[in-house]
Amino acid sequence: MRLEDFDFELPAELIAQYPLDSREGSRLMVLNRLHRDIHCGNFPDIVGHFHAGDVLVLNDTQVIPARLLGTKASGGKIEVFLVRRLDSNQEDWVCLTKSSKTPKVGSRLLLGNEIEGTVLGEGEAPYKVIRFKFAGDFHQLLEKVGRIPLPPYIRREDTLVDRERYQTVFACSKGAVAAPTAGLHFTQDILAALQSKGVEIVSLTLHVGLGTFLPVRVDNILDHRMHGESFHIPETTANIVNLAKKEGRRVVALGTTTTRTLEYALAGENSVKAGEGLSDLFIYPGFRFKIVDALITNFHLPCSTLMMLVSAFAGRDFIFEAYQRAIDERFRFFSYGDCMMIV
């Protein structure tokens, strides 16, 4: 499979730059794989596409203000982008840096008045390992001095609006540097409506990393390697998912991050195991899904690993048919864009 097989032309004006006034104000496209049918409506209609007994699995990761602006002690501005924590004490992180001259090992970085960093060494290119010195709780300090890490296709600086809206209403586990964007459409009222209908709602955590945005740089997609992302599946979630699979009830994954986590953590043919680790699963056409029966997701970038995942789930030709219809009907794309449900 070639990278060009997942390319398409997207008018730039369809890339959503801001969230809508309300979370549930987005549009919804539903793809039925069995009947090869496409239906367009509004996001609150999603409740009608669930059945009693379905299990909806959420990713409860919370985006951290991962962009830190400051100066090198030797002079010169620098931006530090937190990618992944290395220890339980919040001190050592894998980071990206942006400055006129790359900081060397041992360089001191002054990031606001309350955080100082020291470059410990080189990680896998282009990453660096940085140890932070601070007083108090690191995440509380980040809330004061950090910036929300909006995706590169949102061509503006973050604002106060993004503090709320680039975050799901069920986010509670700090650690992501990108939002699980399919969840941005959900409100507490919609979740309550699903529960009233008999849908079980459970959660797992996958801290979305930069791999979400890194371009595929190989022509043959089989040569691409995913970056590992930290995940945790609670025992309760695993038990509920496994019982649903045993009883023939649907498991609905909210987002590609949830999908990759469930399919990575296989304990058997149709079950998952609780626990934590690093997921680096790359899903592309030909992959056989063993856990996920339906998928809720946004509209993705051309040539991205996310396009490959949804093509694996629904079939490449069907996905491209749906994307062309979304373009023709002026759907909004990417993180702050509209939503798709594949059943």
Which CATH number fits the domain that encloses residue 308? 3.40.1780.10
User: Is the same domain home to 137 and 221?
Assistant: no
- Taking only the tens place, the pLDDT of each residue in 29-38 is 999 999 999 9
How sure is the predictor about 158, in pLDDT bands with cuts at 50, 70 and 90? very high
Q: How confident is the model at residue 212 (pLDDT cuts 50, 70, 90)?
A: low
User: Which structure tokens are listed for 171?
Assistant: 């986010």
Domain assignment of residue 203, yes or no: yes
Under DSSP, the state recorded for 323 is H
Asked if residue 306 and residue 217 are part of one domain, the reply reads: yes
Which of 145, 175, 210 terminates a domain? The answer is: 145
**Co-location of 277 and 335 in the same domain:** yes
Same domain, 210 and 124: no
Joined together, the tokens standing for residue 336 give: 């702050």
Question: Tokens at residue 29, please?
Answer: 């496209």
Q: Are residues 78 and 57 in the same domain?
A: no
Q: Are 233 and 204 in contact (CB under 8 A)?
A: yes
Residue 130 sits in a domain whose CATH number is: 2.40.10.240
Least confident range from 119-123, 165-169, 280-284: namely 119-123
Span 261-279, average pLDDT: 94
Mean per-residue pLDDT, 194-219? 90
* Residue 190 sits in the same domain as residue 233: yes
Q: Is the pLDDT of residue 16 over 70?
A: yes
Residue 220 pLDDT exceeds 80: yes
The mean pLDDT of the chain is 94
Please give the residue range of the domain that contains residue 138.
Answer: 67-145
Q: Same domain, yes or no, for 76 and 111?
A: yes
Sequence-distant (6+) residues with CB within 8 A of 98 are 78, 79, 81
Residue 227 lies in a domain: yes
- Per-residue model confidence (pLDDT) at position 297: 98
165-169, 228-232, 262-266, 320-324: range with lowest mean pLDDT: 228-232
- Over residues 161-187, the mean pLDDT reads 96
**Per-residue pLDDT, 88:** 65
Last residue of a domain, one of 115, 145, 175: 145
Calpha distance 181→161 (Å, rounded): 15
* Residue 156 maps to a domain: no
Same domain for 108 and 134, yes or no, is: yes
| Residue at which a domain ends, from 85, 116, 145 | 145
User: Is the residue at 152 inside a domain?
Assistant: no
pLDDT of residue 214 exceeding 90, the answer is no
State the average pLDDT over residues 329-343.
98
Residue 150 lies in a domain: no
Q: Does residue 151 lie in a domain region?
A: no
What is the pLDDT at residue 90?
67
Residue 196 shares a structural domain with residue 308: yes
pLDDT of residue 89: 64
Task: Tell me: do 174 and 230 sit in the same domain.
Answer: yes
**Mean pLDDT computed over 227-250:** 96
Contact 72, 109 (CB under 8 A): yes
- Residue 25's SS3 state is helix
Q: Residue 30: name the closest of 256, 295, 258, 337 by CA.
A: 295
Are residues 301 and 254 located together in one domain of the fold?
A: yes
Quote the percentage of the chain above a pLDDT of 70: 98
- pLDDT tens per residue across span 62-74: 999 999 999 999 8
Is 153 within the bounds of a domain? no
Which residues does 266 contact at the CB level (< 8 Å), separation at least 6?
A: 272, 273, 290, 291
* Domains contained in the chain, number: 2
Q: Give the mean pLDDT of 246-266.
A: 97
First and final C-alpha spacing in the chain = 25
Asked whether residue 173 falls in the same domain as residue 282, the answer is yes
Residues whose CB falls within 8 Å of the CB of residue 50, separated by 6 or more in sequence, listed in order: 56, 194, 197, 199, 252
